[in-house]
Structure 1
Amino acid sequence: MFHDQLQPPCRPRGFPPPRPDAPRPRARRRDQPELRLPDGLPRRTHGRARRRPPRRAHPPPSAGSRRERPLQRPAGRPTRSRRPAHAHPRQPRLARALRRPPALPDRPGAGLPSRPMGKSREIKLRMKAVGNIKRITRTMQMIATAKFSAAQGRAVNARPYNEALFGLVNELAAGGGLSHPLLEEGADGARELTLVISSDRGLCGPYNGNIVKTALRVFREEQTARAGDVEVVGKKGLNTFKFNAIPVSAHHVIGDTPRYEDVERLAQRYIERFTSGEVRRVRVIYMKFISAGQQRPEILQLLPLTPPPAKDKGDAEQSSGAGVEYELSPKGPELLAELLPAAIKSLLFQAFNDAVVSEHVARMIAMKAATDNAGKMGKALSREYNRARQAQITTELTEIISGAAALE
């Protein structure tokens, strides 16, 4: 086998053998300066960057070694290269693109920039998103309406019983001249306890905002309330107090349907702490339900139990018990000791019911407003989409007519 029939072992499979008359690829001259990065790494001016290992220093050849003999190459055989000699030399992509001749338009308008086609598509996506939001808000409105009807029935049906029980306790305490630890002021050195009733979920309009603003106003005006124990019902109030660096001593989870057993257990703990002298006052901040269109934040003093303010002279005489005589069985102190804890528990349970009803009606109103706004936004987007589509059709017709006229 002759040397000219041998193929270099480093030639990739599939490439034809190099031609003898093919030009060699350009290489950097030794006298040409080499660009270097700040960290000292070499940088090539064209082609793909390739780091080569440093050349090792070989010892000088000894006498008679193979390195003394000159390298004998077969006649007519070119120097081996990593890339085929017939291939195009390496050039930057930008340089190759600039050297390429521009394509001539084969039809009118082919060389012009394309029209912005994404406007109508973007409007269509926004219309779809607004429609999905509208369906979600309508569903939430229907759920809040159903829950509001059930909660309103529980709150309204329990209100006459609570008012009658509360009025009877006031008449017994005022008319009979009876006293009870739950009706007297607590110790001066004891702490104050404030219970804030908020919601676990949002999307209920200004419900949580009004409650939190009322609680923060109370804490700013009375430093004893801020320094005392603060208990929260609901995650929204808890997160707000943590953000305002207000320490929360306890967090209660009641849910959308408060049970009397849970509220009774909470009220009994407050009564025990008040009678033992640990706290001197217990207040509840909640949203009072007046009607479907009116709710307002209320500050209720639970302990010591105080009668509600009289509206006129007749109500004042009735609340004081003047001219009314009762024949009590059992005696007044025993009856008052049974009625007072029941009245406090019932009053706290009524506050929880009012808070739940107010939350549902606030969410119902907020979701109805969101549904209406989504409908208005959908109509506006539909008009904008129709205008953009009409403008697009007009532009296409103009281009077709112009092209036909140019061909004539």
Structure 2
Amino acid sequence: MAKSREIKKRMKAVGNIKRITRTMQMIATSKFSRAQQAATASKPYTQALLDLVGQLSRMEGADHPLLSGVSGAENKPELTLIISSDRGLCGPYNGSILRTALRHLRANEKASSGAIEVIGKKGLGVLKFNSIGVDRHHAQFGDKPKLEEVQKLAAQYTERYASGEFSAIRVIYMKYISAGRQTPEILQLLPFKAPETGGAEGAEASTRSLQFEFSPDEASLLEAIVPTAVRTVLFQAFNDAIVSEHVARMVAMKSASDNAGKMGKDLSRRYNRARQA
């Protein structure tokens, strides 16, 4: 009788856990749906802007320090921004990002000797545990970054890079590809890398075949477009990171709910056998 009472207590505890994880799964699913809409809605604009920068950067005489690099800054250290989450219970999400970040910092002397900035308490904790100094912890973004805050951060990075303080600025985050696939990404934010479409020969031929009219001139156009592209790409990285976090938590909580359900069934069978004994 005592054994059956103990099993019944465990059944109740497992049932409570299942209700909690099921609720967390539903919340994560709702947040994922909203974040996914925001992330996918901005991607066509981001891609169109990148294509435009790519075409302009291949034009004869087109040059911009944010594209080609700042003269004299080649040997300067790098700035690395690591985007993690504030909360756990999201499966391998933080582990994958931070393993990638640690490998990058250990293999890249310019990165390890440069400035390291972090978003998310999980990343901050892991870096401190590994005795890696953090120059700045951004706590203002949360799980719904505002465009204005990201633009402000992008403007700071652009200004610091243009001044020659860093040779490069990189962002390590979880890139969202689909609901079933997310991958850690090391994004070179600055110097800004314009995409190459169709190979070098195709791009050159495409550029030669198109006639552009610039008003007022190429330099002024690049001066406006390149900083905008930097802000847009950084905001897209933030959106991807948020979507990836929510889908990881959704999957983790579903797995926890399923495991609790299996454990509950097993305990129920054991309870029935104990009563019949």
Using structure 1 for the length normalisation, give the TM-score.
Answer: 0.65
Q: What are structure 2's unaligned runs of at least 5 residues?
A: none
Indicate which of 255, 258, 276 corresponds to 1:372: 258
Q: 1:382 aligns with which of 261, 265, 268?
A: 268
* RMSD, aligned α-carbons: 1.6
The 1-side partners of 2:200 and 2:130 are apart by 46
Is residue 303 of structure 1 aligned with residue 203 of structure 2?
no
- Structure 2 residue identity aligned to 1:242: K
Match of 2:165 in 1: 278
Residues 1:289 and 2:176 aligned together: yes
- Superposed, 1:61-80 pairs within 5 Å as none
Mapped to 2, the partners of 1:209 and 1:330 lie a distance apart of: 49
Instruction: From the superposition, tell whether residues 341 and 269 of structure 1 become closer, same or farther in structure 2 (CA, over 3 Å).
Output: same
Cα distance in 1 for partners of 2:91, 2:216 equals 50
> CA–CA distance in 2 between the matches of 1:336 and 1:271?
14
Match status 1:168 vs 2:57: no
1:161-213 Cα offsets, whole Å, 9 max, x none, are 01111111121121242111111224134221000000010000110010001
Would the aligned equivalents of 2:32 and 2:243 in 1 still touch at CA under 8 Å?
Answer: yes
**How many residues of Structure 1 are paired with residues of Structure 2 in the alignment?**
274
Question: How big is the shift at 1:132?
Answer: 0.4
Q: Deviations over 1:43-66 (max 9, x none)?
A: xxxxxxxxxxxxxxxxxxxxxxxx
Query: Is 1:349 matched up with 2:235?
Result: yes
Q: Which amino acid in the other structure matches residue 262 of structure 1?
A: E
Partner of 2:26: 142
Greater helix share, structure number: 2
Stretches of structure 1 that go unaligned for 5 or more consecutive residues are 1-116, 392-408
Aligned residue among 311, 321, 324 for 2:210 = 324
Contact map agreement 2:46 2:233 (CA 8 A) in 1: yes
Q: Give the letter aligned to residue 219 of structure 1.
A: L
Aligned pairs for 1:95-174 (under 5 A) are 117-174=1-58
Q: Which has the higher contact order (CA 8 A, sep 6+)?
A: 2
CA distance in 1, matches of 2:235, 2:39: 9
- 1:269 matched to which residue of 2? 156
Task: Give TM-score, length-normalised by structure 2.
Answer: 0.95
Deviations 1:242-268 (A, max 9, x none): 000010000012111111100001000
**Native 8 Å contact 1:174 1:320 kept in 2:** no
Aligned CA distance change for structure 1 residues 124 and 360 (closer, same or farther; 3 Å):
same
Larger Rg: 1
Percent identical residues: 60
